[in-house]
Chains A and B, each alone.
Chain A
Amino acid sequence: MATVVCRNIVKNYRIGADIVRALKDVNVSFEQGEFSAIVGPSGSGKSTLLNIIGCLDKPDQGEVKINNIIIKDQTKKALADIRRDHIGFVFQTFNLIPVLTAFENVNFVLSLKNSGSAAENRGITMKMLEEVGLKGLEHRKPLELSGGQQQRVAIARALVKEPALVLADEPTANLDSRTGESIMELMMKLNLNKRTTFIFSTHDKMVMEYARRTIDLHDGMITNDQRKKP
């Protein structure tokens, strides 16, 4: 079963009198457990596509399905609930809540779901932080962590709720290459352990190497879609 189905996605931006055609009829699906990279130069439409898949933005035309839920004509509230229940995000700039500790940043996401007892959620959070290699740092605030550590917290935050899908928009772009590699290794490990679907965007050769599927995006169109042989 496909986790994500995108059919005939069109997205235009209007800047004054000009229309920027950010996505032109994009068709793509992602199977459960896939580890895919959307690759393309800056301005090719990667973020736009990920935002639409992530229910943060709406396409002008076409249809998106996540876990068989049709993301169309959903209310704002319903979209928030879909994101909460099915989608984890990892951002280029980490985007941790600065007033919360590493532990709280991760635990907060569980509290939004209102499932599980507080004690259970604490246990899940600690286990998740351990999995991303942050044991002992859980009481630090984001500013007391390095970039790589912050991105690990962000990955823990995205995965702690066991979403169907994790979206990572250029997750290593703000990290040095060695830290970037360790982040990619972490994501790959989690993908294998949990069979969570990962979609990340990048224009970095090194990062592409990790992907088992590479989708080339050029001027809002998919020009190539290739799976690595196992």
Chain B
Amino acid sequence: MTQNYIIKMAFRNISRNRRRTLLSIVAIGMAVFFTCFMKSYITGLWSNVKGNTFIFETGHIKVLNRDYLKEEKLMPLDLNIDGYGKDYTEVIGLIKNVKGVKQIFPRTRFGAIINRENGMKNVMGFAFAPALEKPVNSLEAKIVEGRMFREYSPGQHEMVMGRAMAAELGVKTGDKITLMTKTAEEGLGHMTFRITGLSSYGVAVIDKSFFFISLSTAARFLKMENSVMELVIFLDDDTKSRAVTAEINRILNSRPGNPYQAYSWEEQGNGQYYEMFVKMSGIYNVIFVIFLVLASLVIVNTVMMVIYERMKEIGTIAAMGMRGSAIVRLFFFEAVIVSIISSFSGTVLGGIVSYIASRLGINVGKLTGGGMSIRFSEIIYPYIGWDLLLFSFVFGVVVASVCSYIPALRAARIEPVEALKGVY
């Protein structure tokens, strides 16, 4: 029965000093709002960078010729994957049924040079099987002008080029362009391509320096029939990459004299990608802690203020024989109601803003300057989901409640005589 009065009093006390209640709601609500939106934005950014890195760099797992990494900087095309006597599909056949493996993409990435009047430009060739990669990486969907390249046939050497690169080179769809490269046979190769289309991934590095060709075209250009540079593996679940990598390596190494090895995305590039992801979550945690501290200060202060203001009432109800624990509950309950209202408002607002941003996207192209080695897309789509909203709401309520419990405990420790005097 006392509980009924505690609830009744808590609710009425909230509307007692409306301006202050509103102030706490705004303060806590803002903290929750920013927490929600920041998390939405960073999650979106994170999954964007992660996605781009997975698609263009690491896959979830990558199979390479073990010796390739030793000379990676030189991009030695002779250290490739050509199977165990026949061709690279032998390796795919070996590992495609490993549990957790969803897709395996044969790819060859290579360096090439374009000769221009004012010097040479280094570009990056990306040879792949578009039909196979379509569900994960659809170049076709990124073509903004012209059409896809076709497979190699004599006299038909086609490429799709990043739009920013075309602009820099001053070429357009339909133009021909000659590229030079070092072949797998260590000789110098050159080929003239027709540009059939321009692509835009919205990722500065890709759009400025990548061109795309078919694997069959690359085989001719690079003189590496039957072989590719890498097998990029996508899994059902990217967090399982280490375990699946171990299994793949076990299978590969069961072939005597096997020269291939699988690398999980975490261990690729000496762990730099993994480190980058960890760092990015770290940035979020810092922002998160700042809001946490700010919100906590507001809450502790407000509850303290409320307690000082009602000192005489605390004395009175203590004189009536209300126990300390019930007095704590009275203030705690009031603070919890306020934090539920605040967190709810903050979450709703954060949810709406994040939702809109997740639809429209946020253009960060100017922020990143385009020169970043990190593969930000120019437009980031913040993440929105029930888990995010639930997290923000629960976060707000828990933090606010914990922060109000501490000063509420103080209310119970005050001696009734002191409290009755109204000053403490």
Where the two chains meet, the residues of A that have a C-beta atom closer than 8 Å to any C-beta of B are 51, 54, 56-57, 76-77, 80-85, 87, 89, 91, 93, 95, 97-100, 104, 108-109, 111-112, 114, 118, 121, 157
What distance in Å separates the Cβ of B324 from its nearest Cβ neighbour in chain A?
6
Alpha-carbon gap, A121 to B2, bound state (A) = 13
Q: Is the CB of B324 within 8 A of A76?
A: yes
A-B contact pairs, 9 of them (CB 8 A): A51-B417, A56-B415, A57-B415, A81-B321, A89-B319, A95-B313, A95-B315, A100-B12, A114-B2
Classify the secondary structure of B's interface with A: helix
B320 pairs with A109, CB closer than 8 A: yes
B386 on the A face (CB < 8 A): no
Chain A residues near B416: list those with CB within 8 A. Answer: 56-57
Contact B320 A91 (CB under 8 A): no
Q: Taking beta carbons and an 8 Å cutoff, which residues of B are in contact with A?
A: 1-2, 4-5, 8-9, 12-13, 16, 312-313, 315-325, 415-417, 420
Residues of A within 8 A of B317 (CB): 97
- Is A112 within 8 A of B415, CB to CB? no
Report the bound CA distance from A77 to B328 in whole Å: 13
Q: Are A56 and B420 in contact (CB under 8 A)?
A: yes
Complex formed: what's the CA distance from A67 to B263 in Å?
83
Chain B residue nearest in CB terms to A114: B1
| Complex CA distance for A87 and B1, rounded to whole angstroms | 20
Residues on B with beta carbons closer than 8 Å to the beta carbon of A114: 1-2
Quote the shortest CB–CB distance from A59 to chain B (angstroms): 12
Give Cα distance in the complex from A99 to B5, angstroms.
Answer: 11
Verify A95–B316 contact, CB threshold 8 A: yes
**B417 and A99 within 8 A (CB):** no
Distance (Å) between the CB of A82 and the closest chain B CB? Answer: 8
Asked whether, in the complex, the Cβ of A57 is within 8 Å of the Cβ of B417, the reply is yes
Chain B neighbourhood of A80, CB < 8 A: 318, 321-324
| Interfacial chain B residues near A83, Cβ < 8 Å | 318-321
- Residue on A nearest B10 in the bound complex, by CB: A99
Closest B residue to A111 by beta carbon equals B1
A97 CA to B312 CA, complexed, in Å: 10
Contacts A81-B323, A82-B321 supplied; 12 other A-B pairs, CB < 8 Å? A56-B318, A56-B415, A57-B416, A80-B323, A84-B322, A91-B420, A97-B9, A108-B5, A111-B1, A111-B2, A111-B4, A114-B1
Contact A95 B312 (CB under 8 A): yes
Q: Which residues of A contact B5 (CB under 8 A)?
A: 100, 104, 108, 111
The 8 Å CB contact of B316, one of A54, A85, A87, A91, is A91
Report the separation of the CA atoms of residues A98 and B9 in the bound assembly, to the nearest whole angstrom: 10
Give the shortest distance, in Å, between A162 (CB) and chain B (any CB). Answer: 14
Find out whether the CB atom of A104 lies under 8 angstroms from the CB atom of B8. yes
Q: Which of B4, B9, B319, B322 contacts A99 (CB 8 A)?
A: B9
Summarize A's interface: helix, strand, loop or mixed: helix
Chain B residue contacts of A77, Cβ below 8 A? 323-325
Nearest CB in chain B: distance from A96 CB, A: 8
- Of all chain B residues, the one with the shortest Cβ separation from A57 is B417
Inter-chain contact A56/B322, CB cutoff 8 Å: no
- In the complex, A125 Cα to B67 Cα: how many Å? 91
Indicate the member of B9, B316, B319 with the most A CB atoms within 10 Å: B319
Taking the closest CB of chain B, its distance from the CB of A88, in whole angstroms, is 9
Complex alpha-carbon distance, A82 and B323, angstroms: 11
Complex Cα distance, B6 from A114, in Å, reads 14
Give the residue name and chain of the A residue nearest to B324 (CB): A76
Which of B9, B13, B321 contacts A84 (CB under 8 A)?
B321
For residue B315, which residues in chain A have a CB less than 8 angstroms away from its CB? 95
Nearest chain A residue, comparing its CB with the CB of B326: A112
Closest Cβ–Cβ distance, residue A119 to chain B (whole Å): 12
Q: For the complex, give the distance between the alpha carbons of A108 and B3 in Å.
A: 10
Question: Within the assembled complex, what's the spacing in Å between the Cα atoms of A108 and B4?
Answer: 9
Q: Smallest Cβ distance from B318 to chain A, in angstroms?
A: 7
A41 to B312, CA, bound (A): 24
In angstroms, how far is the closest chain A Cβ from the Cβ of B344?
23
Residues of B within 8 A of A111 (CB): 1-2, 4-5
CB distance from A4 to the nearest CB of B (A): 16
- In whole angstroms, how far apart are the Cα atoms of A62 and B328 in the complex? 32
Cβ distance A84 to chain B, nearest Cβ, rounded Å: 2
A83 to B2, CA, bound (A): 16
Chain B nearest Cβ from A102, distance in angstroms? 14
Chain B residue nearest to A54 (CB atoms) is B319
Most B CB within 10 A of own CB, among A77, A80, A91: A80
- Nearest B residue to A169 by beta-carbon distance? B420
A80 to B417, CA, bound (A): 13
* Chain B residues within 8 Å of A85, by CB: 321
User: Which residue in A82, A84, A98, A104 is a CB contact (below 8 Å) of B320?
Assistant: A84
For the complex, give the distance between the alpha carbons of A104 and B316 in Å: 15
**How far is the CB of B6 from the nearest CB of chain A, in Å?**
10
Complex: A97 Cα to B310 Cα, angstroms: 10
Whether B417 lies near A56 (C-beta < 8 A) is yes
Compute how far the CA of A77 lies from the CA of B312 in the bound complex, rounded to whole angstroms: 19
Residues of chain A contacted by B313 (CB below 8 angstroms): 95, 97-98
Within the assembled complex, what's the spacing in Å between the Cα atoms of A104 and B8? 10
Cross-chain contact B316 with A112 (CB below 8 angstroms): no
Q: Is the CB of B319 within 8 A of A112?
A: no
Distance between A125 CB and nearest chain B CB, rounded to angstroms: 12
**Which B-chain residue is minimally distant from A100 (CB atoms)?**
B9
Return B413 CB to nearest CB of chain A, in Å.
9
In the assembly, what is the distance between CA of A107 and CA of B2, in Å?
10
Q: Which residues of A contact B16 (CB under 8 A)?
A: 98-99
Complex: chain A residue closest to B3, CB-CB: A111
Q: What separation, in Å, do the CA atoms of A109 and B318 have in the docked complex?
A: 11
How far, in angstroms, from A97 to B318 measured CA to CA in the complex?
Answer: 12
Q: In the complex, are the beta carbons of B417 and A112 less than 8 A apart? A: no
Partner of A89, one of B8, B320, B323: B320
Closest residue of chain A to B420 (Cβ to Cβ) is A56
Q: How far is the CB of A178 from chain B (nearest CB, A)?
A: 26
